[in-house]
Structure 1
C-alpha cells in the first residue's frame, strides 16, 4: 500500500479499500481469488444496469410530464382521450397527475445516482454495509410496487419495468454476496470523525443530511399510505376545485389512476431517503460521496418543488415540508463541502488518517476517531497491493 501511494500519483492520501487480487478491510486482507473477483464485477455490472434503468425511467417520466402526454394504456383504462382529460377543471386534474409523475421521475434519478456511487465505491471496496443498503432499498422500492393492491390499478408498463429490473437486482445481490465479509447481522455503527463529531463543521453538515434522509423516509411513507387509502389531502382538492366524489362521478377509474401515481412517488421518496441516510451514515467522507449526494438531492428537490409553480399549485402549507427539507439539505451540503472535498483528513482523527495513508489499519475492535489502544497492524509484504483499483476520493 505504501509503495502504491508512492509510485502511483493517482492515489492521493485518502481512503483506499480495494486492490487487484483481494479486498483489504481493517488490516485483514480477504482473498477471494479470480472467481470471486469476477463474480463481484458481474454483480456490480448488474447493479449498474439497474441504476441506469432507474435513471432512464426517471428521465422518461420527466419528459412525459414536460410534454403533457399521457400513456396510451392510461387513457384506455380511463376510457377517454387526452383532450377530454385535459378539459377537466381547465386542466388542473391533468396538471395534478403530471406533478406526481414529475416528482416520481426526480426520485428515480436520485436513486439511480446513489446506486451508481454505491456500486462504484463502497461495494467495489468490499464494504458489507453497501450490500445491505442495496438489499434494504430494493425491498423498499420493489416492495412499494405491491401498493397497487390498495388502490386497485395495475400499471402494465410499471409492471413490465419492474419485471425487467428485478432479475438484475436479485442477480446483483447474489453475485456480490459471496465476495463480501459478513458479520452475523448487519452493522449499524456511526463512522463519526471524532468523539464530539457534532461540534465540527462536517459533523453538523452530516447531521443535517441525516435529518433530510429521515424526513424523506417519513414523507415518502406518508404519501404512500395516503395513495393507498384516502388519495387526496385537503390542499389537493382545493387546487383542483373538486371533491373526491366529483372525480368519481367523472370516471370511477380516475381516482385509482391518481392513487397509483401518488403511491409510486411515495415509495420512491421513501427509498431515496433510506439511501441518503445510509450513504451519509456509513459512507466515509469523500469528494465522490459529496458529489453523489449533491447530484441526487438536487434532482429530487428541483423536480419535486419546481413542478408546483409550473402547474399553479403553490399553496404554502403543501410545500412547507419540501421547503424545509431543501433548506436542511442545502445547508448540510454547504457545510460538508469543505471537509469532504478539500481536506479529507479533517473528517477523522489525524492519527487514524495518517495510519491509513501509510498502509496501516486499525484493528477490528477499534472505532474511528478513537486512538488505538493496541499496536496497529501492518500488511505483510506478500499481501501488499501493487496498484489501486478503486478508492474514495
Structure 2
C-alpha cells in the first residue's frame, strides 16, 4: 500500500515544501495520511473546490500532451498510482493535478489491513510500507469505482493474496476479472507473474489466464489488459517469458514501483528507477516502440526521472512516492518536461507582430509609466491641480493655511498612487513584451484580470460628486489600448529548458515564490481596505493624529475637502488592488526556472511603489510605526522573495553542480 503520507496536496509546491511538509512529516504517518487525503476530499466536494485546486496550481494539461493507451485517448501520459489513495477518498482532487488516467488497486478478493507503522526516511525520501497489498477488498473497490467524481479512465490492478498457490492465484484473478469486467474500468493490470515462482510456473500462469480472457469472461470485455511486472522480477526469466506473450491480447506491461523488504514490507524510493530502467530497455529491445506499451511506476521523484524513463522506452508513467517527496506540482513539472521533449527540434513559430495584440499592452504600460511620473512630479510640487482648486474654490495657499500638514498629507496620498501607477505600467510593459508576445497564458490572464478590476476603480471618486478630468482622460486613452491588447492571442508552449531537478535552487525558489504569493495576497487585502476606507471613513486614526485635526474641523474649513481627499484614497486603493492581482497571478503561475526576465520584472515592477510609499512618509514626517508596519512587512517579503528567487530565475536551468543533486532533504 502506498498513500500520500505527508502534506496537503491540494496546495501547490510553494506551500507544500515550505510549510506543510516539514510539519506533517513529524506526525505519525498514518495520521498525516488520513488528514491529507481527508482534507483533499472535503475540498474537492465543496462547491467550487475543484476550481480552487485548479486555480492555485494552474495544472490543466496542454493539448500537446494528449496521448493514447492502445485505442484509448488520454489527456496526458501520466497516471496516478493506485497506491497513492487506495480508498479513493481524494480521487476527485488528485484528478486536477495533471493526470491522464488513474490506477485503482492493488485489489485482492478479501480486504487486507495492517496496523503497523509506515516509515519515512526523511533524508533519502524512501517510504517503507508494512504491507504492499493493503486494500479494501473486492466489494469496497467495486463501490469505489462507481463513486468516482471525475472522468479520468480507470485501470484496476488485480492481485492474488500473498501466499496463494498458483491454482488459488488463478481463481482469485479470475473472480476479480469477472467482477470488474462489468464495471466502467478502462482496463486491468493483472499480477500473474511472481518473482517467487520459477519460469515454468509463471509461463503456465500466463497461458492459463490468457486462455481464460480469450474465452472465459461472462461477456465480451472491451477493457485493455496489461501484465503487471514486479520491480524485483528476475531479468533472466523476463527474457524467457517475453516471446510467449500474446500481443493480440495483452496491450502492454506495467513495471511496479515497490522493492521488497523483509516479510510483506516494501519500499518506494528513487532506487526503484535504477531497477526499472534496465527492464524498460530489455522489453523495448524485444518489442519496438509502437508495437507494445510499457508503463513504469518506479522511482519518479523529479522531472528528470520521467524524462529518463521515457527516453529508455516507456510510454506512460505512474506517480506514487514522488508526490510525497516532491509535492503536488510534480505532475505539472513532468508535463512541462514532456512538452519540451516533444517540441525539441521543431521549428519555432514566428512571433506575432507588434500591432497584433502584445504591442498595445506595451504602449499601455508606457502610458501608465508616463502618467505616474507626471503625477509624482505634481504631487512633489504644487500638489493641487487647477481643477482641484476650482472644485474647492480655494487656492493652494489657502488650503495650506487650513492645517500645516494638510498639503503634506494630500501629497503623500498622491505620491503613493503615482508610484503604484508606475509599478502597474512596468508590469504591463514587461508582461506584454516577454509574456504575451510568446503566448504565455498566465501573462495574458494577469493583465486581463488587472485591467478588469483596475479600470472601474478609476471612477470610484464619482460617488463623491467630484469628476476628475485627468483620470477620465487617462482612462479614455488607455482603455482602447487594453481592449486591442486583449484580442485573440493563442497560447504557445514554453520553448526554453524547464526545471528537471529537485535542486537547492528549486527549493530556494519555492521559498521565494511563497514570499511573493504572500505579498500578492497582502497587497490585495490592503488595496481593498484602502479603497473601502476611501469611500467610507476616509481617514484612519493615525492620519488624523499626523494632521492634528478632526474630520469635523476639515469639514468646517471646506465641505469639499474630504471628498477630494477621499477620491485620492479610493483611487490609490483601486490601483493597489489592480497591481496586486497581477503580481499574485505572476507569483502563482509564472515562476519558471531560468526565466531571467521575470526576476527583472519583479525588481523593476515593485521598486517604484515601495520607494514612493516609504520615502514620502519619511520626507513629510509621517513615521507612525503602526501605520507603516504593513509597508515594512510587504517590503520585507519583497526583498526576501527577490533574494530567494535569484538563483532559480537568473542562473541556467542545467548547472553541472545541480545536475547530480538528488537529495530532497528539507532544511
TM-score of the superposed pair, with normalisation by structure 1:
0.73
Q: Match for residue 202 of structure 1?
A: 509
Deviations 1:125-145 (A, max 9, x none): 112222211210001110212
How is 1:28-39 mapped onto 2 (pairs within 5 angstroms)?
37-38=352-353
Q: CA deviation at 1:266?
A: 0.7
SS in 2 for 1:121: helix
Residue-by-residue CA offset, 1:319-349 (whole Å, 9 max, x unaligned) = 0000011011111111111222123347xx9
How far the C-alpha of 1:178 sits from its partner, in A, is 4.4
Counterpart among 316, 340, 358 of residue 649 in structure 2: 340
Note the C-alpha offset of 1:248: 0.9
Q: Deviation at 1:73?
A: 0.3
In the alignment, the residues of structure 2 paired with residue 227 and residue 120 of structure 1 have an alpha-carbon distance, to the nearest angstrom, of 34
Structure 1: tracts of 5 or more residues without a match: 1-24, 183-190, 352-393
Aligned mates of 2:462, 2:422 — CA distance in 1: 25
Name the counterpart of 1:146. 459
Tell me how far apart the structure 1 counterparts of residues 500 and 529 of structure 2 sit (CA, whole Å): 33
Q: Could you say which residue in structure 1 is the equivalent of 2:365?
A: 51
- Find the partner of 1:172 among 449, 462, 485: 485
**What is residue 391 of structure 1 aligned with on the other side?**
none
Would you say the 8 A contact 1:151–1:229 is kept in 2? no
Give the conservation status (yes or no) of the 8 Å contact 1:32–1:179.
no
Partners in 2 of 1:300 and 1:292 — Cα distance? 13
Matches within 5 A, 1:267-282: 267-282=574-589
| Structure having the higher Rg | 2
Matched, 1:102 2:415: yes
- Give the 5 Å matches for 1:341-380: 341-345=650-654
Instruction: Mark the CA change 1:273 to 1:197 in structure 2 (over 3 Å): closer, same or farther.
Output: farther
2: CA distance between counterparts of 1:104 and 1:123?
Answer: 26
- The alignment status of 1:62 with 2:371, answered yes or no, reads no
The aligned counterpart of 1:296 is 605
Give the corresponding residue for 2:252: none
> SS of the residue aligned with 1:37?
coil
The structure 1 residue matched to 2:527, chosen from 220, 225, 238, is 220
Between the aligned partners of 1:287 and 1:76, the Cα distance in structure 2 is 48
The answer for the alignment partner of 2:286 in structure 1 is: none
- Residue 313, structure 1, aligned to residue 636, structure 2: no
Whole-angstrom CA distance in 1 between matches of 2:653 and 2:568: 41
Greater relative contact order (CA < 8 Å, ≥ 6 in sequence): 1
Unaligned stretches of 5+ in structure 2?
Answer: 1-338, 661-667
State the 1:31 CA deviation.
Answer: 11
Looking at structure 2, the residues matched to 151 and 193 of structure 1 have their Cα atoms a distance apart, in angstroms, of: 55
CA distance in 2, matches of 1:160, 1:255: 23
Shift of 1:119: 0.9
* 1:328 aligns to 2:637 (yes or no): yes
* Partner residue, 2:566: 259
- Equivalent in the alignment of 1:370: none
| Distance in 2 (alpha carbons) for counterparts of 1:223 and 1:117 | 27
Whole-Å Cα distance in 2 between the matches of residues 82 and 320 of structure 1? 31
1:125 to 434, 438, 442: 438
Taking the aligned partners of 1:266 and 1:197, their CA distance within structure 2 comes to: 38
Distance in structure 2 (CA, Å) of the matches to 1:158 and 1:173? 22
**Quick one: which of 17, 42, 45 aligns to 2:356?**
42
For residue 151 of structure 1, report the CA deviation from its aligned partner: 3.0
Return the offset for 1:149: 3.7
What is the Cα deviation at residue 198 of structure 1? 11
What RMSD, in angstroms, separates the aligned Cα atoms of the two structures? 2.8
The change in CA–CA distance for 1:117 and 1:252 in structure 2 (over 3 A counts) is same
Aligned position for 1:78: 392
Distance 1:93 1:173, change over 3 A: same
Q: Give the drift of 1:194.
A: 6.8
Per-residue deviation at 1:293?
0.4
Deviations 1:14-68 (A, max 9, x none): xxxxxxxxxxx7646999998x934x64311211110000001110111112223
Task: Give the alignment's TM-score, normalised by structure 2.
Answer: 0.44
Contact map agreement 2:538 2:566 (CA 8 A) in 1: yes
In 2, the alpha carbon distance for the partners of 1:104 and 1:217 equals 15
1:219, CA displacement in angstroms?
Answer: 0.3
